[in-house]
Amino acid sequence: MNTIAFYGAGLLGSNFVRAFRRRGDAVRLWNRTAAHAQALADIGVEICTAPEEAARGAEYLHLCLSDDTAVESVLERVLPTLDRSVPICDHTTCLPQRVATRTEDLRAKGYRYLHAPVFMGPPNALDGTGSMLVSGDRSTIALLRDHLAAMTGTLRDLGERTEAAAIYKLLGNAMILAVIGGVADVLHIGAAQGLTGPESFKIFDFYEPKGQIEGRGRRMAGGDESTTWSVEMALKDARLMQGAAYDAALPVIDAVAARLAELAATGAAKADLAALAR
């Protein structure tokens, strides 16, 4: 049995804590809003009133907080009472530059800090499925590999660059925003044309958007702008979509149309849609 200091009792953090308890670990939990943490007392979690209290006697320290500022605020209070042998595992979605700086600063002070963001929803955290990303110091990853692997379905090591995990986490979340924003646009256009949500969603019964990623997307990544759908034609279609929605807000299409108009106005009208990556 391990003793875990855990910080953050949001939906994801709470289920990480429940999973630790399922595996027989002792958990000392602190959360800024105490009432959220108190709900976990019934499963044997020790609820702490101060960050310093949770850290005392811990063998592992886990952070699952809102942002970099919250991480740094907690660490500022915890480090004076934390034994330097205790590894710090940070699952917070963070700015890569701040991860790199924070890792180096903590290393200089003798602490082991590993940024380990996740592609996991609350059910994944409870069941130990989904993906967790790590990168950076080889010895720290080796030390934590088995401990972190028990928390997730796949532990993906992205190499020696300290902030690589933070970068890829943001890349993945960017795709989530783009995809869900695109689905919202589809539903808005369909609704404006008298379709129900399920009727609009039928587009995915016979159109597979993954082909765009594997085809044009992969060519874009390699710098290939061979024209198969020009900027001017894509802009024409984007404006048709806006018209079909009766000019209702379309979060993805409106932004893409604006960028396509800029490209067309600066001489790229005949270029491929891939010019968006310029």
The count of structural domains within the chain is 2
- pLDDT at 35 (0 to 100): 86
- pLDDT at 200 (0 to 100): 98
Same-domain check for residues 154 and 205: no
Same-domain check for residues 149 and 211: no
Tell how strand 154-157 and strand 60-63 pair up. Answer: unpaired
Same-domain check for residues 188 and 241: yes
End-of-domain residue from the set 101, 131, 161: 161
End-of-domain residue from the set 129, 161, 193: 161
Same-domain check for residues 20 and 84: yes
Q: How many other CB atoms are there within 10 angstroms of residue 128's CB atom?
A: 17
Contact 12, 152 (CB under 8 A): no
pLDDT in tens, the chain (278 residues): 899 999 999 999 999 999 999 999 999 999 999 888 999 999 999 999 999 999 999 999 999 999 999 999 999 999 999 999 999 999 999 999 999 999 999 999 999 999 999 999 999 999 999 999 999 999 999 999 999 999 999 999 999 999 999 999 999 999 999 999 999 999 999 999 999 999 999 999 999 999 999 999 999 999 999 999 999 999 999 999 999 999 999 999 999 999 999 999 999 999 999 999 99
Same-domain check for residues 62 and 18: yes
The residue range of the domain holding 37 is: 3-161
Same-domain check for residues 46 and 146: yes
Same-domain check for residues 122 and 217: no
The residue written with tokens 């308890």 in the block is 21
What secondary structure does DSSP assign to 151-163, as a single string?
A: TSSEEEE--S-TT
Tens-digit pLDDT profile for residues 190-223 = 999 999 999 999 999 999 999 999 999 999 999 9
End-of-domain residue from the set 115, 137, 161: 161
